Amino acid sequence: MHLTTNLWLLSLMLISPLSGATPSTQPIHKASQVYDTTDQLPLPNKGNIAVHDPNILLWENYYYLFKGGFHIPIFRTQNLTGPWEQVGTVLSQDSIIDMKNRSRPWAPTTIQQNGTFYCYYSVSQSGSQDSAIGVATSTSLDSNGGKWTDHGAVIRTGKGTDSHIWPYNITNAIDPSFITDNETGASYLNFGSFWHDIWQVPLSENLLSVQDSDAPDAKQLTFIPEQKQKPEEGSWMSFREGYYYAWFSHGQCCQFRGGFPARGHEYDIRVGRSESVRGPFLDRHGDKLLDGGGTIVYASNHGEVYAPGGLGVLAGNDSVPDILYYHYLNTTVGFRNGEAHLGWNYLRYDDGWPVVLDGIDISSSAGSILPVPRWLALTISM
């Protein structure tokens, strides 16, 4: 650990806003606060690519990574540790959503349904509620990233069409994620950040618009009642053995120009679960996410990993465990927004609650994950 070097890096930092979240109002602390972190959590497997709010899709023996940036860059690899090759972009030009920053959407989420790929993306001005979630589609992913069609905004907040409709008039349309109800087949869009936290709305059958757009059947997923600003964003939803898991990032993600937040107020990864895709979601202690609950799954650790978040979960199967992936700041590298890197870990479940495993990499060079060896299977089942 080179504290002197890192302090020197910090003195040179010029942090530019990255996300639509409002900067934290928590007290700021010296850089040494960064290193006072738990050693109880494991280090990550390194993804070896700079990324903020990563999204990964496994398709035909390749991992495809979508990230915020000019026209939404697409990378692919045959191993989560890389190397990653850029193969194209989702958008061939600026988003057709007429608002600021439409050349550089962020926090994309790409899914595949019935032979079509849907990429939901955020367009926003940092620190503003003037935001939109757009969607683009493609019928293929290939060595060129596919050929995409931009369909424009699904929802808008702050300004624009339907932004006056509840709950868009009190929320922030960034950080989209997607989930399908296993029983009904209905699909939902999760979104939100800081302005009344995270929400969910049902999508129409074509997945390009919200069902009943004039009066959406919206559900709030998370909330912190006692705080004016709600530091929860970057939602994700996964399903396993009868439970829907609502994942989210909590705390200050970035913009550390003035100093660091108090320990525990930087980004970390939290979760709650429910037997219904619509909630309510409870944490491991039985506290509702709507009452400020949330079980911490991954956080700053070993004085090396700082402010992990912007997560996703790759679903496993009978022979492969679920994989939690995220971005994090490596304190031996620096704290600029552009220095966030991909990290990932296997998950095991303790009484149905996800627990991050030590940095175990059993990826095959062929792109799929090798069957779990017996020793690891025993570890996961413990």
Question: What are the pLDDT digits (tens) for 339-371?
Answer: 999 999 999 999 999 999 987 765 544 334 444
Quick one: pLDDT at residue 32?
Answer: 60
The lowest-confidence range among 15-24, 69-78, 247-256, 307-316 is: 15-24
R_g over Cα of the chain = 19
> Residues 6 or more apart from 82 whose CB is under 8 A from it?
47, 48, 49
Among residues 53, 130, 150, 268, the one annotated as catalytic is: 53
Whether the pLDDT of residue 230 is over 80: the answer is: no
Band (pLDDT 50/70/90 cuts) for residue 34 is low
**Rounded CA gap, 277 and 283, in Å?**
15
Q: Is 233 a catalytic residue?
A: yes
The pTM is what?
A: 0.89
DSSP letters, 186-247, are: -EEEEE--BSS--EEEEBPTTSSSBTTTTS---EE----TT-SSB-EEEEEEEEETTEEEEE
Among residues 150, 232, 233, 268, the one annotated as catalytic is: 233
Q: Which domain holds residue 31?
A: 3-381
Average pLDDT score over residue span 282-293: 97
Q: Is 53 a catalytic residue?
A: yes
**Rounded CA gap, 19 and 280, in Å?**
27
Q: Are 304 and 332 in contact (CB under 8 A)?
A: yes
Q: Structural domain tally of the chain?
A: 1
What distance, in Å, lies between the first and last C-alpha atoms of the chain?
33
**Rounded CA gap, 236 and 124, in Å?**
19
> Residues 6 or more apart from 11 whose CB is under 8 A from it?
none
Whether the pLDDT of residue 23 is over 70: the answer is: no
Average pLDDT score over residue span 43-53: 96
Quick one: pLDDT at residue 354?
Answer: 98
With residue 270 as reference, give the H or E element that holds it. strand 268-274
Residues of the chain above pLDDT 70, percent: 84
**Rounded CA gap, 294 and 307, in Å?**
16
Band (pLDDT 50/70/90 cuts) for residue 36 is low
Average pLDDT score over residue span 267-272: 97
**Rounded CA gap, 107 and 122, in Å?**
6
List the CATH number of the domain containing 81. 2.115.10.20
Average pLDDT score over residue span 325-336: 91
Whether the pLDDT of residue 162 is over 80: the answer is: yes
Phi-psi region of 15 (alpha: psi -120 to 50; beta: other; left: phi over 0): beta
Q: Are 237 and 109 in contact (CB under 8 A)?
A: no
Length of the chain, please? 382
